[in-house]
Amino acid sequence: MSLEVYWDEHRPVVELGGVLDRESVPGIRKVLLRLVKAKGIKDLRIDLAEVDRMDTSGVAMLVEVLRVLSARKGKVHLTNPSEAATRMIRLARLNGVFEQGASGAWAASGAGQAVRDSRG
């Protein structure tokens, strides 16, 4: 499992890769919740392009992050979902719940300054 966090226009961008399952999710969940609970964070972009496999614990983690941000009138933008991620989100009937991608320069820009290294 890999996790990288970048900042783009003062907004966090999280890139996830590998397997999102009951073994990897607790550590990722901890990082994501710490990030979204930071002062002023309302919108989070999560890039799922490199997710090879995701189970229900991965979906539950995304929902939990969404609930925290929704309480602040924020949003979770899921971008570039892999086939595996798309399949699980659809099976959970959540494809209409999350923002699909993001608009403007924020979505177009994958650049940013890394603040956390990949985990493997």
pLDDT, tens only, 90-100: 999 998 888 77
- For 19, the token pair is 């397997």
- The pLDDT of residue 111 is above 80: no
5 to 17, 93, 94, 102: CA distances (angstroms): 12, 27, 24, 17
- Rounded to whole angstroms, the Cα distance separating 66 from 36 reads 9
- The pLDDT of residue 60 is above 90: yes
- Rounded to whole angstroms, the Cα distance separating 22 from 13 reads 23
Q: Does domain 2-102 have CATH number 3.30.750.24?
A: yes
- This prediction has a pTM of 0.80
Domain segments of the chain as ranges:
2-102
